Amino acid sequence: MGAMTLDRHACYSALLARDVRFDGRFFTAVKTTGIYCRPVCPARPPKFENCIFLPTAAAAQEAGFRSCLRCRPESSPDIGAWRGTYATVSRALALIDAGALDTGNVERLSARLGVGERHLRRLFTRHIGASPASVAHTRRVLFAKQLISETTLPMTQVALASGFGSVRRFNETFQQLFGRPPGALRRKTSTPDTVSSSGITLSLPYRTPYDWEAMLNFLSARAIPGIEAIADGAYRRTIMLDDLIGWVDVRNDAKSGVLCATVSFPDFKQLPIIIARLRRMFDVTSDPCAIGAALSRDPMLAGLVATRPGLRVPGAWDGFEIAVRAVLGQQITVSAATRLAGKLVSAFGPEMPGHAAPMGLTHLFPSAEQLVNRDIAQIGMPRARGATIVHLAAARIADPHLFDPSQSLEEAVARLCIIPGIGAWTAHYIAMRALRESDAFPSGDIALMRALSTNQTKRISASQLHSRSEAWRPWRAYAALHLWTSDAASTPPVAKRIWPMRLLIDRLPSPIGDNFVVWDEQGHVRAMEFENYEARMQNLLQKYYGAVDLNTGRLPTNISEKLEAYFNGDLASLDTITVATGGTPFQRDAWSALRRIPAGTTVSYGYQAAMIGRPKASRAVGAANGANVIAIILPCHRVIGSTGKLTGYGGGIERKRWLIAHERRYAS
């Protein structure tokens, strides 16, 4: 069903079935009652001839209908059928959410978008069914209704928090729309006490499924110390608006299909802006079913979508903050960039008052004014990159709307790339997370190229990746998240831990001597070494994982049977054993390449280096193989000298010779 061309019969069938898949995609206005409802409304369905189907709540309100008190349209997922049909409308709505029409008018809004006022009104009529002003008014009313239904805030504070200029106007609007004062609506609900000294809690509905675990994993890896914290299944961070400070806490209520956002902030007038930012940050308005169906046309992405059907693109609380974070992440690992961000905040960020935030949240992110003309390199980063942050801060000061979603993707990228030190990768990453551009795609990203090269002997190039991504438009940002997530799963980065990693160890006999096999509680093999190399194995485990709690256990059957099958001649069984590695990104690339060398063949170190796109790194590859702690399963015995000579092997040359002969015998 497309925007403004809703199929009446399809809509009515969804209404009769109360099909949750259509919740938020259209609204049913009933001519005989003057009420509009969600498709899942529990009330008795109206007759077909009495129904008008509209794409948005704003269209229903502009047509003169009032919202249902039973199904509460304000609590439906905001995923109208029009979404994705016109980027200008999407950007306009984002600006309206951010308060563009609270402090300005449609003329100024259209100017920010670079279109004429009349053209913008025509676009809204075509895609939304209502004018920009009506959309803003409807959202104001529905947000007020949500505050009435979900909180115990006094009506005066509800009026101010929802953007009404006065309590009188607030009361008149509700009397006109609902035929009763706002207080009467609360008396008809069983309102939980969601207002406390710690803040006010509101729900952010989303379209299921929602992969909350993946969202938290992504944010956790990039959480800036002192600013952000992930604990107990929740995301917390400090915030600042108009020189006022506070904090937010967001957690998932999967049973209800909502995120629960607790906001602690001294000025309730900022609530609409805070909630709008959180909705964009956690991507609650996306339609995972529609996006997944589009990406699944690519056979490789189809498997990734099936594995994580509710994956979202994490947004950003503040555009300048995420832009600085992107610059810090240029050409270094995620964990290294996160540490640098913590140093930046510690050096330049304002401190939070001791009583103002939960434990662990100690600072606010520094503003552009606090970073411009500062020596950023003092925190331990290249001077050129520090200068880029200074240039970025100056650009933000010169243009306060630099990170507003007011331009096309191409225009936004070009505008960002003008800033010295900002390239295409950084600009697309900023567009993806700060501007919420669904088609942003950093095609030069090494992890994306690695994820698409899993079954190839040579890593694909950035240009090849870009060409491949053309088929994923307009959802390339979501494709990137699927690829990043799959890459992280296949080569998990493991940081040293401050608490011991619990591992299990058992002995496995083989024709060339007993082996020690180490695995984690998820069943991933972490190490395999011959018995006379146990000390080396333990040293490498501590190097990769920090403190290790090694306990004797019984090797899982699925691992022992596959290893025994390998020694009995079933060479392919080795490839089905799941491993998890530590080490550097380069080492993990080198070890991953080992599993792509066919059993029964040998290659040189130069060939292995070429497999990972580093043809001149044969010595580094040799060093990486020497640090491999998972013998046989990661078959470094298949790599020999360029002259055909058997080179050093952790288990000894005789064992290497036996393994090569064994594989050649059964491979033929």
Among 596, 578, 581, 605, residue whose Cα is nearest residue 459: 596
CB contact at 8 A, 598 and 667: yes
Give the CA angle between residues 374, 379, 381 to the nearest 5°: 95
| Strands 525-530 and 234-241, sheet pairing | unpaired
Alpha-carbon gap, residue 273 to 195, rounded angstroms: 18
- 11, 37, 68, 636: the catalytic one is 37
Note if 399 is an active site residue. no
CB contact at 8 A, 623 and 518: no
DSSP letters for 478-518? HHHHHHHHHHHHHS-----EEEEEEEEEEEE--TT--EEEE
H or E stretch at 249: strand 244-253
- Residue 421 DSSP SS3: coil
What is the spatial order of strands in the sheet that 234-241 belongs to? Answer: 195-196, 199-205, 258-264, 244-253, 234-241, 228-231
- 283, 445, 487, 589: the catalytic one is 445
DSSP letters for 29-81? EETTTTEEE-TT--SPPPPGGGEEEESSHHHHHHTT-EE-TTT-GGGS----T
- Residue 204 DSSP SS3: strand
Note if 445 is an active site residue. yes
Among 446, 431, 430, 484, residue whose Cα is nearest residue 312: 484
Alpha-carbon gap, residue 471 to 476, rounded angstroms: 9
How large is the C-alpha radius of gyration of the chain? 29
Burial 603-635 (b: 16+ CB within 10 A, else e): bbbbbbbbbbbbeebbebbbebbebbbbbbbbb
Q: Give how far Cα 265 sits from Cα of 228, 363, 406, Å.
A: 16, 15, 27
β-pair partners for 579 = 525
Active site amino acids? 37, 445
